[in-house]
Structure 1
Amino acid sequence: MRAAKKQIAAEPVPTELRVGRDQWQHPIVGLPHTDTEGWYAQAKIAFGTISAPFVEAEIERLLNALRWRKSTLSLETELNAALAVIEGLKPQNEVEAMMAVQMALTHVATVEMLSRFGRLDPLVSPEACHAAGITASKLLRAFAGHVDVLTRSRRPAVQVVRVERINLEPGAQALVGAITGPRDRKKGGG
């Protein structure tokens, strides 16, 4: 009976951290388990790097950006959500990891600004509504720009040949338009 049951593959463990506070209410970051070497190996993969100091620096930047926000979410939840975004984008190098960090933080700022915009009364403070709307719009464009740049950087390069000028001698022949190679006969070409 047991042999007939399907084996369910274990889900990958997310790259997470635990965040506590010291006596001065400064954040203290710790690992969720005692396997420090394993955690760093997983974090390096998540950040697309071979450098532990790079991982530490980017996590410190995330903490510094997130810790002063007024949020109903805990700093640990916000940090782990940002780490999930980074891991989900699967950066292939440090530049892509930095973009992933910026994308996660831009998303947080955008949602916060949209929330502020929704709480404002345009009759009471039209200037504040305008400022919040403009800022939210700029953040949305910045996020879309990050997505576009990341997508384009991962797309294979396309070679384009552009002919500026063609001189045809009397009696010569020329083809005008897109010219492609012979069709693949297996795909139904001719």
Structure 2
Amino acid sequence: MNSDNRNSQQQKKSVAKLKPAPAGSEVKRSKEEIIGNIVAMMQKGPVETEDEESGESFTLTVEEMDAVKDYLSSEQIPKFKKLGGFAAVYPDHPSKAVGQALIAKALGITDETFYAGALKQLINASSEGNQIDVEGLNFAVSLVRSIEPRNQLETMLAIQMASVHLASMKYMRKLNHTETIPQLDLQERVVNKLMRTFTSQMEALRKHRNGGSQKVIVKHVHVHEGGQAIVGNVNHGGRSSKEGATQSHGQDHLSLPVSAAVLSNVEEDEEEVPSPGRAR
């Protein structure tokens, strides 16, 4: 009995306790402090905390603590907020200029005029009517940022992709609430076109970043018995009469990969290569 009590006490000591901040607390810890505390508690072992609503205690698993750590350690940019009843938004940062610069950098923008135009386009794409949807705007900015545009040309394409995605979700919701067959057909066509457009935009971005070229690498070429293979470029140009008289289908004009493929076929099968005008 005594040994069991000592073991239970040691287990209790090995469990770190993380208590949530009291409701309505004005204390705001920095992201670095929260991450540091999580890392320290992960080294000690399981973390015991309490549910914010019910007050019931539970233990965080290692996977849950890793998820929290990765989520909090991701690079954040200022979000937009509305001030009063004005039809305008501002970066949630002590310095408006610094907040604007952080957002512009994340969106691949280096020009103030371009930034103003891009912001207006994102507001129009994420809002309905005359009211600015701040949550929708922050989501649209996050979409553009996730594409990681490298320059302002890619920023324009990323804004288009974000706009098409938002429109797709808008009409998808309408598709889920249609009541008649004509409405269903209409919404289905619109959603289908928007999603196809998004796929085309992804392909355009890929081609732009890769210079429009698609590299294909062949690592293994297998030629089975009785088969033929050509690897490389083959030119069907004319030959001189002297070349035609000696060997019309010789290997002198084949590229190195082609010659290697032919020779490997001959060596493997141990057969002679027939040529026109000569005995086998």
SS at match of 2:88: strand
Percent identity between the two aligned chains? 19
TM-score by length of 2: 0.52
Superposed CA deviations along residues 110-161 of structure 1, whole A, max 9, x for unmatched, are 011111111112xxx2221111100000000011111111112112554999
Aligned residues of 2:171 and 2:190 also touching (Cα < 8 A):
yes
Higher RCO (CA 8 Å, separation ≥ 6 residues): 1
Aligned to 1:130: 185
SS at match of 1:149: helix
Match of 1:175 among 250, 254, 261: 254
Aligned residues of 1:49 and 1:94 also touching (Cα < 8 A):
yes
Aligned residues of 1:110 and 1:139 also touching (Cα < 8 A):
yes
Aligned equivalents of 1:137, 1:163: Cα separation in 2: 43
Aligned to 2:122: 62
Aligned residues of 1:43 and 1:55 also touching (Cα < 8 A):
no
Give ranges in structure 1 of 5+ residues lacking alignment: 180-190
Distance 1:10 1:119, change over 3 A: closer
Aligned equivalents of 2:256, 2:144: Cα separation in 1: 44
Aligned equivalents of 1:132, 1:178: Cα separation in 2: 54
Aligned to 1:107: 165
Superposed CA deviations along residues 55-77 of structure 1, whole A, max 9, x for unmatched, are 1111111112322269xxx8111
Aligned equivalents of 1:157, 1:10: Cα separation in 2: 35
Aligned to 2:89: 29
SS at match of 2:120: helix
Aligned residues of 1:65 and 1:105 also touching (Cα < 8 A):
yes
Match of 2:98 among 38, 43, 61: 38
CA deviation after TM superposition for structure 1 residue 85, in Å: 0.9
> Between Structure 1 and Structure 2, whose CA radius of gyration is higher?
2
Aligned residues of 2:77 and 2:103 also touching (Cα < 8 A):
no
Distance 1:33 1:95, change over 3 A: same
Aligned ranges 1:1-190 → 2 under 5 Å: 5=40, 10-20=73-83, 22=85, 27-68=87-128, 75-121=133-179, 125-156=180-211, 158=213, 165-168=236-239, 169-170=243-244, 171=247, 173-175=252-254
Aligned residues of 2:90 and 2:96 also touching (Cα < 8 A):
no
CA deviation after TM superposition for structure 1 residue 164, in Å: 6.3
Distance 1:177 1:127, change over 3 A: farther
CA deviation after TM superposition for structure 1 residue 11, in Å: 3.6
Cα RMSD, aligned residues only: 3.3
Aligned residues of 2:79 and 2:92 also touching (Cα < 8 A):
yes
Aligned equivalents of 1:140, 1:153: Cα separation in 2: 20
Aligned residues of 1:116 and 1:132 also touching (Cα < 8 A):
yes
SS at match of 2:141: helix
Distance 1:82 1:156, change over 3 A: same
Aligned equivalents of 2:186, 2:214: Cα separation in 1: 43
Aligned residues of 1:15 and 1:84 also touching (Cα < 8 A):
no
